[in-house]
Amino acid sequence: MRRNNREKLMYHLQNELNFTFKNIALLNEALTHSSYVNEHRKFNMIHNERLEFLGDSVLNLAVSDYIYKKYPYDPEGNLTKIRANVVCESALALIAKKIKLGDYLLLGKGEEATGGRDRASILADALEALIGAMYLDKGFKKTQNVVIRLLEKEIIEVSKKGELFIDYKTKLQETLQRNRNRKSEIEYKIIKEEGPDHDKKFYVLALIDKEEFGKGYGRSKKEAEQMAAKEVLIRMGVKYE
Q: Comparing 10-14, 58-62, 174-178, 223-227, which segment has the lowest mean pLDDT?
A: 174-178
Residues near 205 by beta carbon (within 8 Å), at least 6 away in sequence:
188, 189, 191, 212, 214, 215, 228
Q: What is the CATH number of the domain that holds 208?
A: 3.30.160.20
pLDDT at 122 over 80: yes
Do 137 and 196 fall into the same domain? Answer: no
Do 152 and 225 fall into the same domain? Answer: no
String of DSSP letters for 194-211: ES-GGG-EEEEEEEETTE
Question: pLDDT value at position 2?
Answer: 58
Do 40 and 58 fall into the same domain? Answer: yes
pLDDT in tens, 150-160: 999 999 988 88
Residues near 142 by beta carbon (within 8 Å), at least 6 away in sequence:
19, 134
Do 145 and 214 fall into the same domain? Answer: no
Domains in the chain, number: 2
Residues near 181 by beta carbon (within 8 Å), at least 6 away in sequence:
none
Do 44 and 129 fall into the same domain? Answer: yes
Distance of CA 25 to the CA centre of its chain: 22
153 belongs to a structural domain = yes
Point out the domain boundary residue: 161, 195, 218: 161
Do 42 and 23 fall into the same domain? Answer: yes
Q: Which domain holds residue 65?
A: 3-161
Catalytic residues: 56, 128
The listed range with the strongest mean pLDDT (31-45, 98-112, 155-169) is 98-112
For residue 39, the number of C-alpha atoms closer than 13 Å in the C-beta half-sphere is 14
Point out the domain boundary residue: 117, 133, 161: 161
241 belongs to a structural domain = no
